[in-house]
Structure 1
Amino acid sequence: MCGRYSLSKSKIELEERFQAEMLPDFNPRYNIAPTQLLPVITSQSPKGFSFFYWGITPEFGRNKPVAQKLINAKAESVHEKVSFKTSFKQRRCLVPADGFYEWKQLGKKTKIPYRFTMRDDELFAFAGIWEEYENINGENHHTFLILTTSPNELVSEVHDRMPVILNREDEKKWLDSYTEEKELLAMLKPYQAEKMLSFTVSPMVNSVKNDSPAIIKRTSPMDQFGNYTLFG
């Protein structure tokens, strides 16, 4: 799964990379978590960043509380599942990021957080889908989720799933409403391991309350209690 990621680049860097306008008060994020309001790019508004909540409510399950929302969908079945297939066909989005986190399980109590980035530390985009839902107060909100796939060789050392990272040349096709389903599904594959890096980070990332530049820095391996470990 993908349950945490970062978007630590500046407003200018985001606008140049995605050729889209960002809100003037955007601040870099180092520890993004589900239920937060976050930037995405949709085919309806490709020239500007929209802000949607991370966590999608299936069409058949409206008015559910935030805690019951889904945050990921499996790429292998997203075109078939009742809860996702309409969004997959009609409401796709790019989710900008510059890194994501996974936790390596070492024994019953030890988990080591890892950060995954591009080798050149550049921005990239997850494949996402979005929809509009009505909350318990009758208010409309836009939400998104991130598609996941089997891990590449790098991520498989830590986790059995990874987010779908689109090749840059596929980003416009992913948003294009005329792209055929067969071509869309072909994009949903593990990203090339040789283009990525992984390293351990501080267990501060475990708490969504922590959102500072210190979180994305490489550190010696520590478990969730802050104890140093010999494992990397």
Structure 2
Amino acid sequence: MCGRYSLAKTKDELEVRFRAELLETFSPRYNVAPTQLMPVITSDSPNGFSHFYWGVTPEFAKNKPVSQKFINASAETIAQKASFKHAFQKRRCLIPADGFFEWKQLGKKSKIPHRFTLNNDHIFSFAGIWDEYENEKGEIKHTFLILTTRANELLASVHDRMPVILTQDAEKIWLSKYTSEKELLNILGPLSHTEMMSYPVSTQVNEPGNDNPSLIRKTSPMDQFGNYTLFG
């Protein structure tokens, strides 16, 4: 799965990478959590960033079991599952990121957060789908989900799933309205582990309210738990 990610890049870097215009108010994000408003690029508007809620809107997230359920969608079943099939066909999007977090189980009670990035620390995108609905006040809201696939060799020791990371060529395929279902499914596998790296980070990332540069820095086991032997 993917339950937290980062977009620790500037407005200018994102606009150059995606050749799209971003709101002036954008600032780097170090700990993106579900229900938060984030930039995406949709197949309907590929030349500009839209801003959608991840998974569900804040008011809808009061129902925690529901909000936790609707943040990811499985790439293996996306074309068949009734709740996602139409979005897969008509409402695909790119979700800009420069890293994501997963937690490695260490014993029965301890989990160590790890950050996963590309080897070159460049910006990339997750494959996503989006939707819209009208709330009780008659307002139109937009949300997005991140597609996940089986873990590659790097992720496998931490989690059995990982987000679908698209290459720049695959991004064009994903956004095109003329891509066949077979072509779409072919690009939804795991990115090679040789193109990625990971490292432990501070447990401060566990709290969604924390959002600062220290959260994406490599952290020693001593800084996390006061005990170097945990990695021995």
TM-score past 0.5 threshold: yes
Structure 1's unaligned 5+ residue stretches are 58-63
Q: Which residue of 1 aligns with 2:118?
A: 118
Question: CA contact under 8 A between 2:54 and 2:145: conserved in structure 1?
Answer: yes
Q: Which residue of 2 aligns with 1:17?
A: 17
Deviation at residue 113 of structure 1 after TM alignment: 0.2
Per mean C-alpha deviation after superposition, the further-off stretch among 135-144 and 145-154 is: 135-144
Question: CA contact under 8 A between 1:56 and 1:130: conserved in structure 2?
Answer: no
Per-residue displacement from partner, 1:170-200 (whole Å, max 9, x unpaired)? 1011011110000000010000110101000
Q: Which residue of 1 aligns with 2:171?
A: 171
User: In the alignment, is residue 93 of structure 1 matched against residue 87 of structure 2?
Assistant: no
Structure 2's unaligned 5+ residue stretches are none
CA distance in 2, matches of 1:19, 1:146: 21
Question: CA contact under 8 A between 1:55 and 1:145: conserved in structure 2?
Answer: yes
CA distance in 1, matches of 2:91, 2:188: 16
Deviation at residue 164 of structure 1 after TM alignment: 0.2
Q: Which residue of 2 aligns with 1:184?
A: 184
Letter of the aligned partner of 2:54 in structure 1?
Answer: W
Question: CA contact under 8 A between 1:39 and 1:95: conserved in structure 2?
Answer: yes
CA distance in 1, matches of 2:88, 2:228: 42
CA RMSD of aligned residues (A): 1.6
* 3-state DSSP of counterpart to 1:84: helix
Question: CA contact under 8 A between 1:128 and 1:146: conserved in structure 2?
Answer: yes
Matching of residues 1-232 of structure 1 within 5 Å: 1-56=1-56, 65-66=60-61, 67=64, 68-69=66-67, 70-221=70-221, 226-232=225-231
Letter of the aligned partner of 1:140 in structure 2?
Answer: I
* 3-state DSSP of counterpart to 2:215: helix
Question: CA contact under 8 A between 1:6 and 1:30: conserved in structure 2?
Answer: yes
Question: CA contact under 8 A between 1:56 and 1:131: conserved in structure 2?
Answer: no
Question: CA contact under 8 A between 1:162 and 1:190: conserved in structure 2?
Answer: yes
Letter of the aligned partner of 2:60 in structure 1?
Answer: P
More helix by percentage: 2
CA distance in 2, matches of 1:230, 1:163: 31
CA distance in 1, matches of 2:213, 2:138: 37
CA distance in 2, matches of 1:72, 1:228: 34
CA distance in 1, matches of 2:136, 2:154: 42
Deviation at residue 228 of structure 1 after TM alignment: 3.5
CA distance in 2, matches of 1:138, 1:75: 32
Taking only the aligned residue pairs, the percentage that are identical comes to 60
Aligned length: 225
Change (3 A) 1:228 1:140: farther
Per-residue displacement from partner, 1:60-96 (whole Å, max 9, x unpaired)? xxxx932323000000001100100000000000000
Letter of the aligned partner of 1:162 in structure 2?
Answer: M
* 3-state DSSP of counterpart to 2:83: coil
Q: Which residue of 2 aligns with 1:60?
A: none
Q: Which residue of 2 aligns with 1:61?
A: none
Letter of the aligned partner of 2:195 in structure 1?
Answer: K
Change (3 A) 1:42 1:95: same
Per-residue displacement from partner, 1:10-36 (whole Å, max 9, x unpaired)? 001000000100111110000000000
Give me the TM-score of the superposition, normalised by structure 1.
Answer: 0.93
Deviation at residue 138 of structure 1 after TM alignment: 2.7
* 3-state DSSP of counterpart to 1:100: strand
